[in-house]
A and B are shown apart, each in its own frame.
Chain A
Amino acid sequence: MHPDTSRRGVLLIFVLLVIMVLSIFAFQFRFTASQAQWDTYRFDLQESARQLAEAAANEAFMIIDREAIKDDSAIFKSLSVKGNKPDGKTFPVSLPNLEKHMDEMMVRPGIEPQISAEMRVVSCRSTDDEGHPYFDGGEGVGTLEIQTTATLKNKQNPSRMPISIHFVRHHDFKVAALVTPRDNLLSRNRYANNAMLDYLLCIRNGVNEFWNSKAAILNSSSPLFKPHGFLNPWTKAPLNPSQRGKIFLGDKSAVGKDYVFLNVTDETREILLPAENPLAFRIIYLDDCKKLFPTLKDPDYEGNVDQVEGWFWANNMPISGNYLLPAIGFTTQEVADFQNRCRNVVINKLNAQLSKADDENARSFFETQLCFEPGIPLVECDSSGKFSAEAAKSLLEGDIRQRFFYMCRFNLSGDKLSADIRQKFDEEVKHHTKAHLPVIEMENPSDAGKQEPFYSNFPEINKKSIDAGDYSYSSCFDDWYPYLPGLTAVKPPGRSVRPEGLLVPRFFAPNATKLDTILDYSPYAMDTLYNGYFFYESGKDISTLPGLGEATPEGSVITLRGMTNLVGNGPAIIGKSGQTVSIRGQGMLYSADGFIIKAKLLKEHPEFFAILYTNREIRIESNEVEAGLVALSPNLNSRIIPPNAPLTIRGSLTVDMLGSAHWASDTTLDLWYDPVFKSPTSSKLSITIQRRVVFQKMWGGEA
């Protein structure tokens, strides 16, 4: 082989090798460049998908949070805790805002975005951390999961793998029953933290206050407060019985008297309150009679009586059997009816007696002067103006008794008195009265002849048994007649048949003993159901707290949802003097150190409500509050302090004590019940989803 010949191909091979190496490098570079482009492409798509998935999680949270207010939504129902194990159901969540703007958010053309979101409860429990069960209507705590998926497909090149990002978030949620079912005609039989909202007026230690105040707490001729139980506070339309707030005076301090009376006037209060022994008799004298007939205000009444009596005496015309029933009715209408009936009887009786003498002056005197104290209707009549047993049951709770059944007989002549009674008269009545008249004689059941004329007009009274004994100058209170059918624990002495009718004393079922127990638990047992805590500075207006309040040109708005704990040093102040603070939403504010309501507190919507709950005092400096006020403490001395001016509360009032004896001189209180607090059949649940994310995870890539 020639040497030249052997070298000829080397150059070519070398060139080819160089070209091959260059090609490898070039293609490798090309591959790297393509990879860089693809990585950039994927980065863009993944970032877009992540933006979509995260925005979807944000919007899903908002949608769920909003749907959780609606008690008919599937999400609301799924979050109502039914036990300690979630049902595992998932719910799709719509994302209207994101779906509308999804295409705009795409970085690359030809990309088709798809987004989905769903929610499920991953854990829940219906007991607190000490194992105490919450109200079984759905209260509890849990954790919900929001899972979103964003997928980006390349429409122009379907062979390219789509990019898919999955996003998972967990939020804790709490379900608190702000209002729980209560049938006004039945007692509560299970725990509920909000039992106090059943009541228009609930005074936890009211029995004690009633007796200490000699009944002034409920009875006064110029009432310091007036509850309106039958009417809607805004429309003044009649409230359905199931919507009414009840009145309850509790016996928390166990004073030994577990009953109170309504409708006793200032003038009659002292003599009409029953003695310690319900069977004790009480002697009534002329002064007492004048208290029983306080409208006989003629200063010369005694003189007139003397004249009449003198006339009878002068004519030797004894008139016996004029019976009066001093009575104060439960309602104005009832009193009026009763007045008329009694008055007619008296006048008729008197006419019958006077007909013999034909003394027009005497007849005229009695016709014009004999009328009855109308009493004080603690609650107004229902829409029909009548009082009914059902209406009473829908309004009153506990052993609240209507005064009266107070019977006595007035005998103006006394000439038929037996010798021993006359002796009593001389010894007792004459000694105690100025006019020596009238003799006040107790009905003697054994004297059938005396009873008949009167009882024929009041057949229901005929059933009444009074053991007067020898003391014919006395009268007795009989408070042993149960009002409600079925309360057979006590019966009229000597009688087995309970009287019925207008004049029968009214008793209201002492069925609220559990309430005291319930109130002992609140609100402490609900700590874990607080949806949040707001820290406030003493002396500052909480209605401007970010997240709770919001200042508007017209005033402030407090937005409520569920139960919120206000944490601060000193009472929480609401609004400023002369301002109006609006309530938006439904919820309870708890402040351990009390509240000072400086502004008018008004609801924005009939369905909204606020409950202000404290263990101290609620001082009100405005004249209008639309809220449920609850002031309860272990010391039994929490109360409201109204302004020295008329105050209207539309909501409810639950306090340890009313303390009306300490109210300022110009204070009056109109108390109306907000029917939004009453739910006969179902709970009003408030679901609060914590905004804080307790767990978050994201994964994905090429799907």
Chain B
Amino acid sequence: MKQRGTSLIEVTVAMLIISLLVLFLVELNRSSNRATMDAYYQLLACQLAHEPIEVFQCIGYRRLAAKEALPQDISKEFPIDTPVEMEPRPNVPQEIRFFKRLIHLQEVSEGGTKGYLITVSVSPSGENAAAAWLVKKSIEMHGLILDQPIL
């Protein structure tokens, strides 16, 4: 029996299948890459958003309510209602420079207890890697600063 070679159709179909598979893998890789980068920048943004919440929790309601002047380095690093572009810091991923941060304090009162609702928005500071990778264009976190015990 004479053996025939692989027909063009067969080759074409095989190449098509293989191409589709490769394309799928490429797309899978691309989306995975995007998801990873999104998660990374999102985590970075969340940490940047948590930072002032923790700082203002430590400052405490009493000092905030008393309108005491905050230490200069704190008021410079965590200004209220003023967007600040993040600057690289030691021991912190350098990518934070891709973000800007806005801190807002709102006095709240209910049931006889008073406090501050702190809202921190972190978003890319321009057309940069963070803007490219982040799905959400702004990360917003909140905290409730109430009069707290001494830790």
Contact = CB atoms under 8 A, between A and B. Distances in A.
B30 to A, nearest CB: 10
B11 to A, nearest CB: 11
Interface stretch (A99-107, A399-407, A498-506, A589-597): A99-107
A51 B143 contact: yes
A39 B29 contact: no
B69 interface: no
B95 interface: no
A97 B111 contact: yes
A96 B151 contact: no
Given A5-B3, A51-B142, A32 B36 contact: yes
A155 interface: no
A317 interface: no
Given A58-B149, A97-B115, A101-B117, A29 B144 contact: no
Contacts of B21: 19, 23
Contacts of A36: 35-36, 39-40
A227 to B, nearest CB: 41
B122 to A, nearest CB: 12
Interface in A642-696: 690-693, 696
A43 B25 contact: no
Given A55-B143, A62-B146, A47 B46 contact: yes
A33 interface: yes
Contacts of A273: none
Interface in A26-44: 26-27, 29-30, 32-34, 36-37, 39-40, 43-44
A43 B40 CA distance: 12
Contact of B147 (A15, A27, A58, A106): A58
Contacts of B50: 47
Contact of B39 (A27, A33, A55, A59): A33
Interface in A151-169: 169
A101 B108 contact: yes
Contact of B113 (A26, A97, A690): A97
Interface string A50-85: 010011001101110010000000000000000000
A23 B27 CA distance: 11
A43 B46 contact: yes
Contacts of A55: 115, 143-146
Contacts of A37: 35, 38-39
Contact of B117 (A54, A104, A691): A104
A609 B50 CA distance: 44
B109 A692 contact: no
A138 B42 CA distance: 54
A573 B124 CA distance: 57
Contacts of A12: 14
Interface in B29-66: 29, 31-36, 38-40, 42-43, 46, 50, 53, 57
Interface in A218-271: none
Given A62-B146, A691-B149, A33 B113 contact: no
Interface in B1-31: 3, 6, 14, 18, 21-22, 25, 28-29, 31
A114 interface: no
A44 B111 contact: no
B110 to A, nearest CB: 4
Given A19-B18, A37-B35, A59-B113, A43 B43 contact: yes
B149 A104 contact: no
Interface residues of B, number: 46
B36 A44 contact: no
A111 interface: no
B128 interface: no
A492 B30 CA distance: 115
A104 B31 CA distance: 31
B32 A61 contact: no
Contacts of B35: 30, 33-34, 36-37
B108 A96 contact: no
Nearest to A16: B18
A66 B147 CA distance: 12
Contacts of B109: 97
A391 interface: no
A104 B150 CA distance: 26
Given A58-B146, A58-B148, A63 B113 contact: yes
Contacts of A194: none
Contacts of B33: 29, 33
Q: Looking at chain A, what size class is its interface with the partner chain?
A: 35 or more
Interface in B107-151: 108-115, 117, 139-151
A96 B144 CA distance: 12
A171 interface: yes
A585 B34 CA distance: 61
B103 to A, nearest CB: 15
Nearest to B135: A37
B52 to A, nearest CB: 13
Contact of A32 (B32, B113, B140, B149): B32
A30 B28 contact: yes
Given A66-B112, A100-B110, A169-B149, A39 B39 contact: yes
Given A47-B46, A51-B53, A97-B110, A26 B32 contact: yes
A94 interface: yes
Given A29-B28, A30-B32, A33-B39, A97 B108 contact: yes
A51 B144 contact: yes
A40 B45 CA distance: 10
**Taking each of B6, B14, B141, which has the highest tally of chain A beta carbons within 10 Å of its own beta carbon?**
B141
B149 A171 contact: yes
Contacts of A33: 31-36, 39
A326 to B, nearest CB: 65
A98 interface: yes
Contacts of A490: none
Contacts of A698: none
A108 B35 CA distance: 17
Contacts of A352: none
Contacts of A693: 149-151
B15 to A, nearest CB: 10
A107 B115 CA distance: 20
B4 to A, nearest CB: 11
Interface of B: 3, 6, 14, 18, 21-22, 25, 28-29, 31-36, 38-40, 42-43, 46, 50, 53, 57, 108-115, 117, 139-151
9 contacts: A29-B28, A29-B33, A47-B46, A51-B53, A96-B113, A97-B115, A98-B146, A105-B117, A107-B140
Given A12-B14, A33-B32, 13 more contacts: A5-B3, A29-B36, A30-B35, A33-B35, A36-B36, A51-B144, A96-B112, A97-B115, A104-B142, A107-B140, A690-B149, A692-B149, A692-B150
Smallest CB-CB A-B distances: 8 pairs: A96-B111, A36-B39, A33-B32, A33-B35, A105-B142, A55-B144, A97-B110, A58-B148
Interface of A: 2, 5, 8, 12, 15, 19, 22-23, 26-27, 29-30, 32-34, 36-37, 39-40, 43-44, 47-48, 51, 54-55, 58-59, 61-63, 66, 94, 96-98, 100-101, 104-107, 169, 171, 690-693, 696
